[in-house]
Structure 1
Amino acid sequence: MSSATRPPLLPPTRTEYCVIACAEAWRDAGEILASPMGVIPSIGARLAKRTFAPDLLLTDGEALLVGVDGTVEGWLPYRQHLALVTSGRRHVMMGASQIDRFGNQNISCIGDWEKPTRQLLGVRGAPVNTLNNPTSYWVPKHSRRVFVEKVDMVCGVGYDHAAAHPDTARFHRIPRVVSDLGVFDFATPDRSMRPASLHPGVTPEQVREATGFELPVPDDVAPTREPTAEELRLIREVIDPANARAREVPERTAA
């Protein structure tokens, strides 16, 4: 269909703002390994590679390097994967069952470690990820259960713990936390979380109420960047025509 006959695009949804916010984590990243975990981060990484971060390396999640269409481009043996991880040449976007004001992340258990009330994934690779390469987070439902005053167990290392052991955290960096309400970073004097942008239709009061620690949210916080028409076309027609993204965030139109 030509551009002259193409129907006008529907306005971006909240989900698509989340995709854009995740994609921006890899803007101008150069030739590094993108490791998105989750549907929306994966769509974001593929969108970034197709647009403003063409040198990104993408994998099939196992041992192959793939292009944006899934075409195999190379082999990534585990030893080479670890070499990228431990030299800071990887940017992973993980999930978080809990995250606190300094970016400590928990995916292991809820409650006391010796007798938890709920068992989760386990620590897995979170400490190595956060100490050795940039690690961002994706939280599909922003709530007080996730954004907590103090995590029950530190899996992903936050800025306060990294500062206490600087020799082991040469590559430690948390570029952003993306939720269904906005984008958050740690560009503050004490490296505590702050809002970098809110998705359209989200109010500062909503974010304060949904956060389990004091989070200063100025009334004039910037809005999350709007997807371009070409980015919307890529998301809807090329990268995710089956609309898998709607499984993580409801497809309501942003106000």
Structure 2
Amino acid sequence: MSAERASRAEYCVVACADAWRGDGEILASPMGTIPAIGARLAKLTFSPDLLLTDGEALLIGDVPAVGAAARMTEGWLPYRKHLAMAAGGRRHVMMGASQLDRFGNQNISCVGDWERPDRQLLGVRGAPLNTLNNPTSYWVPQHSKRVFVERVDMVCGVGNDRAAAAGPSATRFHQLRRVVTDLAVLDFTGAEGAMALRSVHPGVSADQVREATGFALAAPEEVPRTREPTPQELRLIRESLDPGGLREREVRT
């Protein structure tokens, strides 16, 4: 791969990194390989105050490659303190989703009827706490109508419509930022907080994204392309953060 040409996976990395742009000194909680590379890239470039963990109980002071051990420890972050940070809004999490609807309601629990589901998934986990108390974004490595559905089978992460219906207690800290997929970047700037198409990755058309989405998607008349990685960002991704190329296994074109 040439130094000038970025892969689809690398566009996804910088799009994920941009989700943490301007966040300041908060905990970045990326779930997935590409979000993890993106969070590290953000810290090394435009968001140096981001806090990173080793994925377990330590705040790390350096920025190792994905899968490598950190050499510098800044602090201890046991589970109870991690929950306190999450509940206090001092974290921006990027979660996955088995289903997402137009208002950002997320399902990671089961597919099908609750009483007799077709598939049992992870369970609700911490999704309600995440979405109601700190900024939340999503990473979807395979954009399809199986994920982007008209109505989720079970609500785990709370969407904009349900938060609004619940009132100020739910909306006070509720922030859905963006969704990054292998095709595009989406946000929630549509009517009443609905999902909207923000940009498409190179080689992808807006019509392709619409065809892979199970609901009507708000979009500008001219949909821009996802921004290009800078030469510095490509160098960091390829040489420092993911020299083994794990990103290419998560996004296949």
Q: Is TM > 0.5 for Structure 1 vs Structure 2?
A: yes
> CA–CA distance in 1 between the matches of 2:221 and 2:202?
13
Alignment counterpart, residue 56 of structure 1, candidates 34, 40, 50: 50
Taking the aligned partners of 2:230 and 2:238, their CA distance within structure 1 comes to 12
Counterpart-to-counterpart distance in 1, 2:16 and 2:162: 25
Alignment partner for residue 219 of structure 2, among 217, 220, 224? 217
User: What displacement does 1:9 show?
Assistant: 0.9
Counterpart amino acid of residue 200 in structure 1: P
Q: Which residue pairs with 1:80 in the alignment?
A: 81
Instruction: Say if 2:183 is the partner of 1:181.
Output: yes
Distance 1:81 1:207 in 2: 36
| CA distance in structure 1 between the aligned counterparts of 2:49 and 2:103, rounded to whole angstroms | 31
**CA distance, structure 2, for counterparts of residue 204 and residue 35 of structure 1:** 29
CA distance in 1 between counterparts of 2:14 and 2:2 reads 20
In the TM superposition, residue 219 of structure 1 has moved relative to its aligned partner by 4.5
Residue in 2 that maps onto 1:156: 157
Does the CA contact (< 8 Å) of 2:57 and 2:76 recur in 1? yes
Aligned pairs for 1:91-240 within 5 A? 91-166=92-167, 167-240=169-242
Given that 1:197 and 1:223 are in contact with CA atoms closer than 8 Å, whether structure 2 keeps it comes out as yes
Worse-superposed segment, 176-185 or 62-71 = 62-71
Please tell me whether the aligned partners of residues 89 and 133 of structure 1 are also in contact (alpha carbons under 8 angstroms): yes
Between the aligned partners of 2:55 and 2:33, the Cα distance in structure 1 is 13
Could you tell me which amino acid in structure 1 is paired with residue 89 of structure 2?
G
Contact 1:108/1:123 (<8 A) preserved: yes
2:108 counterpart letter in structure 1:
I
In structure 2, relative to structure 1, the CA distance for the partners of 1:197 and 1:40 (3 Å cut) is same
RMSD value, Cα: 1.3
How many equivalent pairs are there? Answer: 245
SS in structure 1 at match of 2:172: coil
Cα distance in structure 1, aligned partners of 2:208 and 2:248: 21
Deviating 4+ runs (over 4 angstroms) = none
Q: In 2, are the aligned partners of 1:147 and 1:211 still within 8 Å (CA)?
A: yes
Deviates more, 1:174-183 or 1:75-84: 75-84
> What is the Cα deviation at residue 79 of structure 1?
2.3
| C-alpha distance in 1 between matches for 2:133 and 2:190 | 22
Q: 3-state SS of the aligned residue for 1:65?
A: strand
Work out whether residues 109 and 122 of structure 1, in 8 Å CA contact, stay in contact via their aligned partners in 2.
yes
My pick for the range that moved more, 143-152 or 80-89, is 80-89
TM-superposed CA distance for 1:168, in Å, is 3.0
How far apart are residue 10 of structure 1 and its match?
A: 4.0
Q: Distance in 2 between matches of 1:176 and 1:203?
A: 19
State the secondary structure of the residue aligned to 2:202: coil
Residues 78-105 of structure 1 show CA distances to partners (whole Å, capped at 9, x for unaligned) of 2221221111110000000000000000
User: Contact 1:17–1:199 at 8 Å: present in 2 too?
Assistant: yes
Paired with 2:171 and 2:52, the residues of 1 have a C-alpha distance of 25
Displacement of 1:63: 0.7
Which segment drifts farther, 77-86 or 113-122? 77-86
Does 2:31 correspond to 1:37?
yes
Structure 2: give runs of 5+ residues left out of the alignment: 65-69
Percent identity of equivalent pairs? 68
Contact 1:39 1:244 in 2 (8 A): yes
| Residue 15 of structure 2 corresponds to residue 21 of structure 1 | yes
Provide the secondary structure at the position in 2 that maps to 1:176. Answer: strand
Q: Which amino acid aligns with 1:18?
A: C
The 8 Å contact of residues 142 and 182 in structure 2, kept in 1 or not, is answered as yes
Counterpart amino acid of 1:13?
Answer: S
